[in-house]
A = this chain, B = another copy of it.
């Protein structure tokens, strides 16, 4: 049983996702389809990249991830299929796979890119504005059905990468940044907990507020309290217990979060 995931900025109102499923099941009726997210902010390639990178590695080997956040649809931007480790991806070549590519390269995993040029695997009529339906969905379905990656087009080795937020070392510790805000208002930073040498000694400073130390989870403090935790992906995260930290602190993507290490002061 093969598996396809979908990640887009298409929303759930207009039927754009449903039509992709109809196209996919017309090619491979037995495939399982999981929605990762269709509420990526329109054209926000960075948000799409981070969301896909967090989720895709939990899927079984051989899964095909069809990701479409595609401000360049209908221009000459390449469309690609990729193998990264034991998983497959179909996406516009605009940086959407950046963190997945970086992880695969740093771990010496298989890393292969094909430009989608073989229109045999597309719908017969291709619009200029909806390649999710006309190209990405059918190509993903054919790949899940067993077509070789090589059959989809021509290999290349210079996929577009976008610059990802990185924490920087300071005299007092780290300067991190807000990279994601989830539905609960929890604020995820770009600083991995395992990068910090004295986790039990940190003070987190954000928007003029200071948080002394990490707690192990939300339920260890009272409702309404501002806390820092290690996120489920292993990064430093700021939250309000049973509340919404991002709204309370008026935080936005890119804002600075200082992580001070007491022994350095």
User: Which residues from chain A sit less than 8 Å from chain B, CB to CB?
Assistant: 1, 3, 5, 7, 10-19, 21-23, 25-26, 29-30, 32-40, 42-43, 51-52, 54-56, 58-60, 63, 71-75, 77, 127-130, 133-134, 180, 182-184, 216-220, 229-232, 234, 237, 242, 244
Contacts and interface: CB of A to CB of B under 8 A. Distances in A.
Nearest to A125: B234
A3 B40 CA distance: 27
Copies in the complex: 3
Given A22-B63, A73-B218, A127-B232, A51 B15 contact: yes
A119 B25 CA distance: 31
A39 to B, nearest CB: 4
A26 B34 CA distance: 12
Contact of A11 (B183, B217, B220): B183
A37 B218 CA distance: 23
Contact of A29 (B1, B51, B58, B237): B1
